[in-house]
Structure 1
Amino acid sequence: MIKPRDPDAEAALEADDIALEVFIHALKLRHGYDFSEYSRASLKRRALELTRKFGVERLGDLIPSTLYEPALVREIVSHLSVPVSSLFRDPEVFLRLREEVLPMLASWPRINIWLAGCAYGEEVYSLAIMLAEAGLTQRSQIYATDFNDYALERAAEGIFNRQNLPEYRRNYMESGGQARLSDYYHARYELMRMRRELLERVVFAHHNLVTDGVFAEAHLIMCRNVLIYFTQPLKDRVLELFADSLVRGGFLVLGNKEALSATSPVADRFELVSATDRIYRLKRDGV
């Protein structure tokens, strides 16, 4: 049975879409945060979550806060941009890195690793633990970047919720962990803090994948579950940025819902290492 058309609901939907565009434009003009090439579906979902969080009725009600309450902007940007993660998330990916990629990285005298879109730092500490267990810490430099300064501060603190420990321990063991995860953190009350030694070879830095260029010459780039929020043209530009940032034979790791498609402008510059784990290698012959 065909449902009758509801003009009021359609008008509300259209109003929200217009409000979203004004909201995005206000963030860019007033504060310099450019979400214009992010996927509208994911942005709208997160913006509507913000209306509930701030206790306002409509998406358009966020616009005055964006323009006139700068103290809230940090929270707004954080909610719009930080993906959910965990220590050793997708442990099979880290197991593949441990068994197949790290031994090849070890052939270089120095290893530069770029974690693009590091969010709250779970992958930073996961990778730092893996490098320590492989004996590669002193030869490695991890550059952990994000455009969200609040996320960078949280990542540098390395404080996570202790209630997630069962998941963290399971992920660590499934990723081929060689010790006890408890060797790498201090726990107190409801929180756990990662050991400061893990940051010995880590630099946290502001970098915006939308607007900034090559950050460093890297042997490994990890950017997982970030590109899914971008439009296709922006994805293509970021993938070109990664290709230009890698040394010959360097590795690129994407998220499990992302892939380097055959139509990508840099597809012919990479060879596939693992389709299931979304690991690619920049060709060494310069093709």
Structure 2
Amino acid sequence: MSHVLDEIELEGIELDLFVEAMRRRHGYDFSQYAPASLLRRARLLAERHGGGSISALIHRLLHEPELLPQLLEGLSVPASDMFRDPSVFHALREQVLPMLASHPQINIWQAGCAHGEEVYSLAILLEEAGLYERSQIFATDLSTRALERAHEGIYPLRSAQQWSRNYVAAGGLHSFSNYCSARYGLLKLDRRLRRNVTFAQHNLTADEMFCEAQLVLCRNVLIYFTNPLQQRCLALFRDSLVRDGFLCLGLRERPGAAAAEADFAPVDANLRIYRRGAAMSGRRL
């Protein structure tokens, strides 16, 4: 008996085939990404690279490997701001950095760093706290194209006024202009801010812990994952943190109840700042 599929069902099949093609052709598994968000991004990629058809996009994915960096960039969500959610960065400045100051070496993992805005925000916080010289920021993302842009530290000048307001609201000690220069409609962050930053590709869906850290930030990334993948990431962050290390998530994210009780204690639950329970990390210094 024949079954007539409507456009929504057909598009669902196309999306499943696209995910399978990404996994088998290039080794990237997007099956645990939130379906609605993944479909939106696949549609945008199809318009940009497949003539509006996910099926045509699959053909290019299979036969044009040079297209992969653009696909990964489109499937990630490289959107952020300097000092995004200033109250979070104010809390990091006032509540977290003083605790990190007791460590002779401070390692920070920024997972899902996108175009680097929050990486440079962290560098400014550390600089103003007198901690940057003994700090190392490991900034990772799935997209190599996003990492290239993050390393450049060049952004549209139109963002400057909002970023300056965010910096002040986050408790900035100077002027935001101290950390950047403007020219030809672009804003370039001072290269000294990346002197202790390492940019590297990392896949949260498949790769293991990236480093041992006193602070892990992964903001506005987990909301695009299914619950099982969120739990995998939280376990990854837990295992990466030293005893009493800090985890900072996006404002729309929170650890699940079991993870929160077993692994993380809230420092400021409203701002999604948590601390790893000492009982979970007795093997760490």
Distance 1:183 1:29, change over 3 A: same
Contact 2:47-2:53 within 8 A present in 1 as well: no
Tell me the SS of whatever aligns to 2:278.
Answer: coil
Instruction: Tell me the equivalent position of 2:265.
Output: 271
> Do 2:110 and 2:216's aligned partners in 1 also have CA atoms closer than 8 Å?
yes
- Name 1:49's counterpart in structure 2: 44
Deviation of residue 60 (structure 1)? 2.1
Q: Is the 8 A contact 1:82 1:151 kept in 2?
A: no
Name the residue aligned to 2:35.
40
Q: What residue number does 2:209 align with?
A: 214
TM-score normalised by L of structure 1: 0.93
3-state DSSP of counterpart to 1:112: strand
User: Equivalents in 2 of 1:82, 1:156: separation in Å?
Assistant: 17
Q: Secondary structure at the match of 1:131?
A: helix
Deviation string for 1:87-124 (max 9, x for gaps)? Answer: 11111100000111111111212111000111110111
Aligned match of 2:122: 127
> Is 1:12 aligned with 2:7?
yes
Within 5 Å, which residues of 2 pair with 1:1-287?
11-54=6-49, 56-264=51-259, 267-286=261-280
Cα displacement (A) at 1:251:
0.1
SS in 2 for 1:171: helix
- Secondary structure at the aligned position of 2:257 is classed as coil
AA aligned opposite 1:104 = M
Task: Kindly provide the CA deviation profile for residues 187-218 of structure 1, in whole angstroms up to 9, marking residues without a partner as x.
Answer: 11111111111111111112111111111110
* Aligned 8 A contact 2:72 2:142 in 1: no
- 1:158-191 per-residue CA deviation (whole Å, 9 max, x = no partner) reads 1111111111111111111111111111211111
Q: Which runs of 5+ in 2 are unaligned?
A: none
Which one-letter code corresponds to 2:149 in the other structure? R
TM-score normalised according to structure 2 size: 0.93
Residues 95 and 174 in structure 1, CA contact (< 8 A), matched pair in contact too: yes
How many residues are treated as equivalent by the alignment?
279
**Structure 2 partner of 1:3:** none
**Structure 1 unaligned regions, length at least 5:** 1-6
Q: CA deviation at 1:75?
A: 1.3
1:91–1:174 contact (8 Å) kept in structure 2: yes
Task: Give the drift of 1:245.
Answer: 0.7
Superposed CA RMSD: 1.6
More off after superposition, 273-282 vs 71-80: 71-80
Identity %: 52
Query: The residue matched to 1:286 in structure 2 has which SS?
Result: helix
Partner Cα separation in structure 2 for residue 94 and residue 172 of structure 1: 9
